[in-house]
Amino acid sequence: MVRLPRSAATAVLAAVAALLCLGGLVRAEDGYRIERKLWKGQRLHVDETSVTTFDFKARAAGINGDPSNVTSQTGESTETKTRIYSQVMTAALADGGFRIERTYEKAIKESAKGGSAKKDTVGSSLHGKTVVLEGRGTAVRIDSAQGEINQDDKNDAAFAEKLYGLLPDKPVKRGETWTVPPEVVGQIFFGPLYNPVGFKAESKGRLRDLVTIDGRRAAQVYFTLQIGVQRTEDLPGLSYQVEGLMAVALEDGTILSLDLAGPVELEIVKGASKVKVNGKTSMRYRAKILERGEAP
C-alpha cells in the first residue's frame, strides 16, 4: 500500500472537498427544492398580523315596501388582527399528514371607524386557548378542548398551514417562475366552497434570491395572487389581488416570513339594495424555529 506524505494527503482531501462543493453548486444550478418538510417535535414561535381597511358605499331601496324610499350611506373602517402563539408538531407522517398543538398567547381583533385612531377590541375565540390542527396539504381541521372556535377564527388559524400549497412541486432556479394550480389556490382561500365555475383563483411564484434568516439559508419567493368570485344572488362579488415576499428555510422546509398586500373589492346586490366596498389588505407573518425536531 502506498502512503502519501501528510502534505500530499491534505492536498488530496482539499481537492476532494473542492470537487464535492463544486458538485453541490452544479446541483444547485439545476434548481432548489422549495418544499415543506415535517419534523416531529419541531417548535415554532409565531407572530402574525393582518390589517384590512374598507371604504364602503351602501344604497338601499324599497324600505318598508315603498319603492321611492331610497337611502344611501358611506363609511370607512379598519380591522386589525393580531395572533401570537407557540406550537409543536406532535405527529409528522411520511405521507404528508401532520398534527400540531398550538397555544395562543394573544389573539385579538381591533376595529376603528371613520379613520379614528380609537380602536375597539373585539374578542377572538382563539385567545388564550390551546388548539389542535390536523391535516394534509391544504386540508386542515382545527379543534380545541377549551371551548368552541368559530369558523372565521378557524380560517385564520389554518391559513399559514395552507400556504405551503403555493410552493413548487419541482426544483426551481433563481429567477424561475411557476404557476400554482387553480384548484390548490381555491382550496387555500375558499376551502370546500371553491368551484371553478364562477370562481377565479390564480397564483404565480418566482424564486427571487437566497437569503439568510436566523442563521438559516432560505429561498426568497415573490408571489402574486388573484382571487375572484362572480356575483350572484347568493354570493357577493369579490376581487382580491395581493403580492409580496415569502421566505422558506431550505433545509428545514419551514416558512419563516411572509409579507403580502394589495387591493380588495366586494359587491353585494339584493334586489334594489347594493353595497360596494373598496379596500386594501395586508398580512405579516414571522416564525422563529425554536427546535428543529426529527424527520418522519
Q: Residues 258-291: pLDDT tens digits?
A: 999 999 998 888 777 788 889 999 999 999 999 9
Residue range 41-81, pLDDT digits in tens: 999 999 999 999 988 787 776 555 555 666 777 888 899 99
Residue 196 has what pLDDT?
86
Residue 57 has what pLDDT?
81
Residue 64 has what pLDDT?
54
Q: What angle do CA 178, 280, 244 make, to 5 degrees?
A: 30
Give CA separation, 229 vs 4, 76, 118, 201, in Å: 72, 23, 33, 9
**Residue ranges per structural domain of the chain:** 33-291
Least confident of 52-56, 138-142, 173-177, 250-254: 52-56
Pick the CATH number of 33-291 from 2.50.20, 1.10.3470, 1.20.120, 2.30.230: 2.30.230
Does the structure show a pLDDT above 60 at 23?
no
> What count of Cα atoms within 13 Å lies in the side-chain half-sphere of residue 9?
5
Q: What angle do CA 253, 255, 260 make, to 5 degrees?
A: 150
Average pLDDT, the chain: 86
Can you give the C-alpha Rg of the chain in angstroms?
A: 24
Torsion angles phi and psi, residue 20, rounded to 5: -65, -45
Average pLDDT in the 6-17 region? 44
User: Residue 24: which pLDDT band, with cuts at 50, 70 and 90?
Assistant: very low
